[in-house]
Amino acid sequence: MKNQEEEILVAPLHPPHPVECEAPNDQIKAENLIVSNLKYLALGTLFGIVLVKAEVISWYRIQEMFRLHSFHMYGVIGTAVVVGAVSVWLIKKFRIKTLQKETVVFHEKKFHWGNVFGALLFGLGWALTGACPGPIYAQIGSGFFAVTVTLLAAIAGTWTYGLLRERLPH
Amino acid sequence: MLEIIRQPWPWYVAGAVIGLTVPALLLLGNKHLGISSSLRHICSACVPSKIPFFKYDWKREAWNLFFVAGILIGGIVGTRFLSNPDPIVVAPATVKDLEALNIQVDHNLLPASLFSVNNVLSLKGLMFFIVGGFLVGFGTRYAGGCTSGHSIMGLSTLQWPSLVATCCFMLGGFAMVHLLLPWIMSFVS
């Protein structure tokens, strides 16, 4: 009961997130479900074009990566991390605000054993399908309609995790 | 200009754009890059089944679903209007390895011998679509993120659990390619 009261007190400032949501929405200002979200559709489109054009969605590129036959994927991920890290550093350093003039929120990730076991399982699936979740959507858009089955299986996998969550070591 | 765009884009261009997605999402509205979360939101919206893990206001996280819908549209645009006219170039050593596994290297981004619609109901389909997809969905959520959430967003914000997860992604991938794939191919083909 105590917890619930606390949640209600905090709610006006920080509306509740999904339990441990790893990609949370930290905007305080209310958003229109469609209009406010169109900018993310646009950004996603650019992201998807890049995934296709740099062949990140290619099963062969993933095979090359895990066979250490090509630098390409290491270059893509490495550059993304460096550019992302410098951007985050700049945001923190100059206290850059969001479009809504809100302070950018960062969350500390807490280690749990899923970071090992879950990650190993995902690695196996990544090498089989040649896709992490982002490229799955881009592969379907690219005309590989059979990958819709992969997406459905991935949704089923996530659902199964939700079902078994309490019984898995964390 | 279009000629240049149609060529495969180099790694540093792709890496820079993907990296810039991190501040873009943060500054557009305090959103954190993480694509596997979309799978969870789909569960929450469509089949919550009274599981606590899926009981939350998914509409508040709907930006994530718009983002992945955009990725799908980007896949269409990139392929329809900007696609590379030349066959994909695969490293010769990989071609050799794949041929040894009976996987024909063709001109597409994904080998048709594995990923064609005709394979959905075969043993190959079971492995590459169902088992592979299930591992991606189960593994990413159990790990608390995927390549975007951990390897890009997590490493960009210097989180050591994300470094652990990224190393384990790679380890899993190496194990699949070098240990399990030869065995899987021996019974599906």
For residues B62 and B155, membership in a common domain is answered with: no
Number of domains, chain A: 2
Kindly state whether residue A33 falls inside one of the protein's structural domains: yes
Q: Is the pLDDT of residue A10 over 80?
A: no
The residue assigned the tokens 């030349």 is B86
Question: Considering only alpha carbons, which residue of chain A is nearest residue B55?
Answer: A18
Both B73 and B92 in a single domain? no
Is A135 a domain residue?
yes
- The residue from A106, A141, A158 where one domain ends is A106
Q: Report yes or no: A10 at the B interface, CB cutoff 8 Å.
A: no
Q: Residue A9 falls within a domain, yes or no?
A: no
Whether A45 and A93 share a structural domain: yes
Q: What are phi and psi of A97, to 5 degrees?
A: -90, 165
Task: Please indicate, yes or no, whether residues A69 and A121 belong to a single structural domain of this protein.
Answer: no
> What's the rounded Cα separation, in Å, for the pair B62 and A35?
12
Same domain, A36 and A73: yes
Chain B residues in contact with A104 (beta carbon < 8 A)? 26-27, 30
Q: CA B187, CA B185: separation in Å to the nearest integer?
A: 5
Tens of pLDDT along A25-37?
A: 999 999 999 999 9
Task: Looking at the structure, tell me whether residues A71 and A135 fall in a common domain.
Answer: no
Can you give the pLDDT at residue A22?
A: 83
| Cβ neighbours of residue B156 closer than 8 Å, sequence gap 6 or more | A81, A84, A85, A87, A88, B19, B22
Encoding tokens for residue A84?
Answer: 């992302």
**A14 touching B, CB under 8 A?**
no
Same domain for A121 and A82: no
Residue A68 in any domain: the answer is: yes
The model's confidence at residue A4, banded by pLDDT at 50, 70 and 90, is very low
Write out the two tokens for A108. Answer: 């500390």
Q: Which of A122, A20, A94, A114 is nearest to B135 (CA)?
A: A122
Domain boundary among B58, B83, B108: B83
In a domain, A52, yes or no: yes
Does A14 reside within a domain? Answer: no
Residues spanned by the domain of A127 = 110-170
Q: Is A8 an 8 Å CB contact of chain B? A: no
Q: Which helix (H) or strand (E) holds A3?
A: helix A2-10
Same domain, A83 and A116: no
User: Angle, to 10 degrees, between the axis of helix A114-129 and the axis of helix B132-143?
Assistant: 150
Four-point Cα dihedral A98, A8, A107, B68, nearest 10: -70
Instruction: Note whether B66 contacts A44, CB cutoff 8 Å.
Output: yes
Q: Based on the domain organization, do B63 and B103 belong to the same domain?
A: no
Note whether A130 and A83 are same-domain residues: no
A10 within a domain of the structure (yes/no): no
Are A57 and A90 contained in the same domain?
yes
Check residue B67 and give its pLDDT. 98
Which residue, of A106, A128, A145, is where some domain finishes? Answer: A106
| β-bridge mates for residue B31, sequence order | A25
**Measured between CB atoms, which of B8, B53, B136 is closest to A132?**
B136
A17 lies in a domain?
no
Counting the structural domains of chain B, the total is 2
SS3 B138: helix
Per-position b or e across B17-46, b if 16+ CB within 10 A of its CB: bbbbbbbbbbbbbbbbbbbbbbbbbbbbee
Let me know whether B35 and B96 are in one domain.
no
pLDDT in tens, chain B (189 residues): 888 888 999 999 999 999 999 999 999 999 999 999 999 999 999 999 999 999 999 999 999 999 999 999 999 999 999 988 888 999 999 999 999 999 999 989 999 999 999 999 999 999 999 999 999 999 999 999 999 999 999 999 999 999 999 999 999 999 999 999 999 999 987
What's the CA angle centered on B119, arms B118 and B123, to 5 degrees? 150
For B180, the token pair is 């399990």
Domain termination residue (choose one: B31, B66, B83): B83
- Token digits of residue B187: 């019974």
The answer on B100 and B8 residing in a single domain is no
**What is the nearest CA distance from B114 to chain A, expressed in angstroms?**
10
**For residue B61, what are the domain limits?**
1-83
Tokens of B37: 């979360």
Portion 95-154 of A in contact with B at CB < 8 A = 96-100, 102, 104-112, 114-134, 136-147, 149-154
**B147 CB contacts (<8 Å, ≥6 apart)?**
A77, A126, A132, A133, A134, B166, B169
Residue B103's SS3 state is: coil
**B contact test, residue of A150, A152, A167 with most B CBs within 10 A:** A150
Domain final position from A106, A123, A144: A106
Min Cα distance A24 → chain B (Å) is 6
Distance from CA of residue B169 to its chain's centroid?
12
Among candidate residues B83, B102, B135, the one where a domain is terminated: B83
Chain A residues close to B3, C-beta within 8 Å: none
Are the beta carbons of A43 and B21 separated by less than 8 Å?
yes
Q: Do A114 and A100 belong to one domain? A: no
Residues in chain B within 8 Å Cβ distance of A7: none
**Residues B64 and B141 occupy one common structural domain:** no
Give A93-129 pLDDT, tens digit per residue. 999 999 999 999 999 999 999 999 999 999 999 999 9
